[in-house]
Amino acid sequence: MPVPPMVQARVEELRALIRNYDYHYYVLDQPLVSDAEYDRLFRELKDLENQYPELVTPDSPTQRLGGVPATTFRPVPHAVPMLSLDNCFTSEELVEWDARVRRLLSVSSVEYVCEPKLDGLSVELVYEQGFLTLGSTRGDGSTGEDVTANLRTIKQVPLRLFPVNGVVPALLEVRGEVYMERAAFQGLNRERERAGQPLFANPRNAAAGSLRQLDPRITAGRPLKFFAYHVGRVEGLELSTQVQLLTTLSQLGLPVNPVWRLCRTLAEVQEFYGELLSRRNEFPYDTDGMVVKVNEFAWRAVLGEVARAPRWAIAYKFPAQEATTRVLDIVVQVGRTGVLTPVAVLEPVEVSGVTVSRATLHNEDEVRRKDVRIGDWVLVRRAGEVIPEVVKPLLERRSGAEREFRMPQRCPECGGPVVRPEGEVAHRCENLSCPARIRQSIRHFASRRAADIQGLGDKLIDQLVENGLLRKVSDIYRLKKADLLVLERMGDKSAQNLLDQIEKSKGMSLERLIFALGIQHVGETAAQLLAERFSSLEALAQASPMDLQGIPGVGPKMASTIADFFANPENRRLMEELRALGVVPSGTRPRGGPLAGKTLVFTGTLRSLTREEARRLVEAQGGRVASAVSRKVDLLVVGSDPGSKVEEARRLGIPTLDEAEFRRLLGY
Ligand code: D41
C-alpha cells in the first residue's frame, strides 16, 4: 500500500512531538504533557508504523528496543583515544597540580570547570548527521565494545539530536558516564533478592553488569542513566571551552549534569569541592570525587597528555567512607527463617560521621574468603545506605593471637542442630520453636508494614517470648489483659491499648497477612501480587509451584518456598489457628477460573496490565494466548485503539470482551 503523504507527515509530526516530550520528561525531569496524552500519541505512532512498516526508521521513538540478542560484542576502535584521569587526594596535591598547569602555560591564573565525578562507566555515542549510529564502552581507551543496542534502551540517550541554530553537527562523538542511581540500585537488588538472583555489590557494578548484557531487553529493564561531559571527533560545530561544550551538548538534547561550576580561582575550586563533599549524600547517585578541567581548549592543546591522561584535568578524590578498627568478636545472629548470620562486633569507630559498631559478614564462606579473624584490625566501609561491611583484614597488623571464626554446630539461641542445606551458602537452625526465630518472626509479623500492631515493640516481644507467653505468631491473639499486667512498666491503660491494636489487626488486608507470615523470598511486592491473584490464604495454600510460577513477578525459587511453606504441617496449623482466632483478612475477593483450556487473543492496549502480564494471568488459569484470530480462538479481548482483529472475530463469530469484563473473568 503506498503511503499517503498525510500519513508520512503525521508520522514525522508525532515523532517530533514525542522526541520533545521525552527530552522534557527524561532529561529535564519536567513533563510537558500528561501520561495519558503521551500514551495516546505514542500509540498513534505505533499504529501508523504497524500499518505502514516502510515508514519505520531506526530513530523513531518506538524503536529503542530493536534487533536480536547478540552472541558477542564487536570491538570498536575509538577515533580519538578515551583518556584516563590522574587522581589527587589532598588540597596540597591540587595546589601543586594547579601550579604546574600555570607554569606550563606561563599564566598567573586559569579558569577551571569542576564537575562531580560519578561512579559509573564511560561510554561513547557517535552521532552522524544527528542520528545515533554507534555506542561503545571505553574499553582500554583505544578500543571498546559495541553496545549500541543496549545504550539505545536508555531513555535519556537521544536517538536523534535537536538542531542548534537550525543545524545539527555532521559528526559528533559524545562521551559520558552511564550510571545507576542509589535508590534504583537498591530497588533492583530487592527484586533480585526476591527472585533468588545474586546481588550486585554496588551501583557501579550494577550499571556495568546491565550494560554488558547480550540481550538488550534485559538492559531495557534496568534503571540506567547517562550524563554527557566530553566529546571526541566533532564536525560542524565550534567548541572552544568546556562551558560551551556543556551548554551545547545540553541544547542538542543530551543529558548534562547541571551540577558543575566555572571557577576563576583555585580558592573557588576548593570551595566547590567542599560543597560537593558535604552534599555528597544528597545526590541521588554515588560520587567518588570532583573532576577539575581547564576551561579553554586552546590551553588544553598546549598542556597535552602524558601516559594517556591529560595534563589539563585531574580527579580530586573524596575521602573514602572507610575506617580501620578492631574485630572484638564475631557473633551469630539467628533470623526469622533460621538463617545464621555472622556479625563482626567492632570497637566503635566513626565512618564519615556515623559511628559503626557492627558489620555483617553475610555467611561463613564470606568470612573464609575475606579471612577475617577475631582480634583482627580491619578496614570497614559504609557505602550509601547499605549496612557497613568489613572490606578486609590488615594482615600486617596481625599478632598471631587472632582466632578464626567457626560456625557453631548448635544454634547459639536454642542449642538445636545447625545444618547447611545442599547448594546453599547459609547455615540454618532447623528448630521451628527456636526462641530467636520466634522472636524475629513475631517482630516481623507485628511490624508496621505487616500486621502493624502498634505497641507490640521489640522489647515487649522479647519479654513475652521469655515468659513463654508467645511461642508462635498465633499466640499474639491469645494474650489476655492479666498476662500483660504482670509485665514491667505495663499499666492497665497501655495493656488495653495493646489489646485494642491486636484486635484491630485481625482485619488486616490479605496482602499484609501474606507478607506478615514471613515466607522466604516473599516481600511486600510479591505479597501484593499473590493477594491480587488469590482470594484467600486457603486458596494460596493450595496453589502448586506451577500455579505460582504463572504469576508475573514470581520466580521458580519463590514458587517453591511458598509451596514448601504451606506444605509444612506446623504452618498449616498456624493458618488454622489464626483463622479460628478471628484473623480474617478484609476485602478478599472470590476467585473465578473459567479460562481453563480456552484460547484468547488480545488486540489494542490494556490500561491496567501489560500484554505479558495478561498472558501470564491467563496461563496461570490454564488458558492460552494466541497472536492471531482463527477458528480455534475462543475469546478476543479488546483494549483501547484495537486493530483489525475485531472485524475478523466478528466475522468468525468469536465473542469479544472489553478490559473490565476480562478482569472480571480473571477474578480481579
Ligand atoms: O563523572 C565522571 N565520571 C567523569 C569522568 C567526568 N565528569 N569527567 C571526565 N572527564 C574525563 C576527561 C577529562 C578525560 C575528558 C571523566 C573522565 N575523563 C574519565 N572517566 C573515566 C576515565 C576517564
Instruction: Give 303-320 pLDDT, tens digit per residue.
Output: 998 888 999 999 999 987
Higher-confidence residue: 9 or 360?
Answer: 9
C-alpha cell at 135: 555506542
Does 430 fall in a domain? no
Which candidate, 133, 129, 163, places its Cα nearest to that of 16?
A: 163
Which amino acid residue places its CA nearest to atom 7 of ligand 1?
117
CA of 118 to the centre of ligand 1 (A): 9
The number of folded domains in the chain is 6
d(CA 303, CA 300): 5
Least confident residue range of 190-204, 335-349, 399-413: 190-204
501, 447 Cβ separation under 8 angstroms: no
Contacts of residue 538, Cβ cutoff 8 Å, sequence gap at least 6? 575
Q: Phi/psi zone of residue 667: left (φ > 0), alpha (ψ -120 to 50 degrees), beta?
A: left
| CATH code, domain carrying 651 | 3.40.50.10190
In this structure, are strands 112-118 and 143-145 parallel, antiparallel, or unpaired?
Answer: unpaired
Same domain, residue pair 396 and 540: no
CA of 291 to the centre of ligand 1 (A): 7
- Sheet arrangement for strand 112-118: 87-88, 313-317, 287-294, 112-118, 261-263
Does 360 fall in a domain? yes
Contacts of residue 6, Cβ cutoff 8 Å, sequence gap at least 6? none
Task: Please calculate the CA angle 421-359-201 and round it to the nearest 5 degrees.
Answer: 70
Residues forming beta bridges with residue 231, ordered by sequence position: 174
| Mean pLDDT calculated for residue range 591-608 | 78
Same domain, residue pair 464 and 514: no
φ and ψ at 507, to 5 degrees? -100, 20
Does 429 fall in a domain? no
Which amino acid residue places its CA nearest to atom 15 of ligand 1?
230
Minimum-distance ligand 1 atom for the alpha carbon of 119: 3
Same domain, residue pair 309 and 360: no
pLDDT at position 590 is 34
Residues whose beta carbon lies within 6 Å of some atom of ligand 1: 83-85, 115, 117-118, 122, 177, 229-230, 291, 293, 310, 313
pLDDT, the chain, mean: 89
3-state DSSP call for residue 444? helix
Same domain, residue pair 386 and 500: no
Minimum-distance ligand 1 atom for the alpha carbon of 227: 1
Does 538 fall in a domain? yes
Question: Which helix (H) or strand (E) covers residue 315, if one does?
Answer: strand 313-317
Higher-confidence residue: 244 or 72?
Answer: 244
Does 80 fall in a domain? no
Same domain, residue pair 233 and 279: yes
Boundary of a domain, candidates 505, 537, 554: 505
Same domain, residue pair 119 and 253: yes
pLDDT at position 153 is 92
Higher-confidence residue: 667 or 413?
Answer: 413
CA of 313 to the centre of ligand 1 (A): 9
pLDDT at position 592 is 43
C-alpha cell at 178: 552511564
Does 614 fall in a domain? yes
CA of 305 to the centre of ligand 1 (A): 14
Same domain, residue pair 495 and 551: no
Same domain, residue pair 49 and 159: no
424 confidence band (pLDDT: 50, 70, 90): confident
What pLDDT, in 10s, does the model give residues 15-32? 999 999 999 999 988 889
Q: Is the pTM of this model over 0.75?
A: no
Question: Which of the residues are catalytic?
Answer: 117
Minimum-distance ligand 1 atom for the alpha carbon of 310: 14
pLDDT at position 73 is 87
Which candidate, 442, 607, 434, places its Cα nearest to that of 516?
A: 442
| CATH code, domain carrying 378 | 2.40.50.140
What pLDDT, in 10s, does the model give residues 545-590? 888 988 877 888 889 999 999 998 888 999 989 988 888 887 543 3
| Mean pLDDT calculated for residue range 510-517 | 92
Boundary of a domain, candidates 271, 292, 317: 317
3-state DSSP call for residue 449? coil
Domain carrying residue 625: 599-666
| CATH code, domain carrying 554 | 1.10.150.20
Which residue out of 80, 173, 177 has the highest number of ligand 1 atoms within 8 Å of its CB and is therefore the one to mutate? Answer: 177
d(CA 281, CA 384): 7
Does 32 fall in a domain? yes
Least confident residue range of 169-173, 521-525, 628-632: 521-525
pLDDT at position 589 is 38
Which residue out of 115, 229, 245, 273 has the highest number of ligand 1 atoms within 8 Å of its CB and is therefore the one to mutate? Answer: 229
d(CA 315, CA 115): 9
d(CA 318, CA 87): 10
Which candidate, 468, 450, 457, places its Cα nearest to that of 490?
A: 457
| Mean pLDDT calculated for residue range 493-501 | 93
| CATH code, domain carrying 29 | 1.10.287.610
Boundary of a domain, candidates 25, 47, 63: 63
Minimum-distance ligand 1 atom for the alpha carbon of 120: 3
Asked whether the predicted pLDDT for residue 595 surpasses 50, the reply is yes
Same domain, residue pair 127 and 259: yes
What pLDDT, in 10s, does the model give residues 93-126? 999 999 999 999 999 999 999 999 999 999 999 9
Q: Give me the long-range contacts of 428-433 (CB less than 8 A, separation at least 24).
A: 428/337, 428/338, 428/339, 428/340, 429/334, 429/338, 429/340, 430/338, 431/338, 432/338, 432/570, 433/471, 433/472
Same domain, residue pair 328 and 307: no
Same domain, residue pair 55 and 94: no
48 confidence band (pLDDT: 50, 70, 90): very high
Question: Which H, E and C letters describe 182-231, residue by residue?
Answer: HHHHHHHHHHHHHCCCCCCCCHHHHHHHHHCCCCHHHHHCCCEEEEEEEE
495, 464 Cβ separation under 8 angstroms: no
Does 20 fall in a domain? yes
Which amino acid residue places its CA nearest to atom 23 of ligand 1?
84
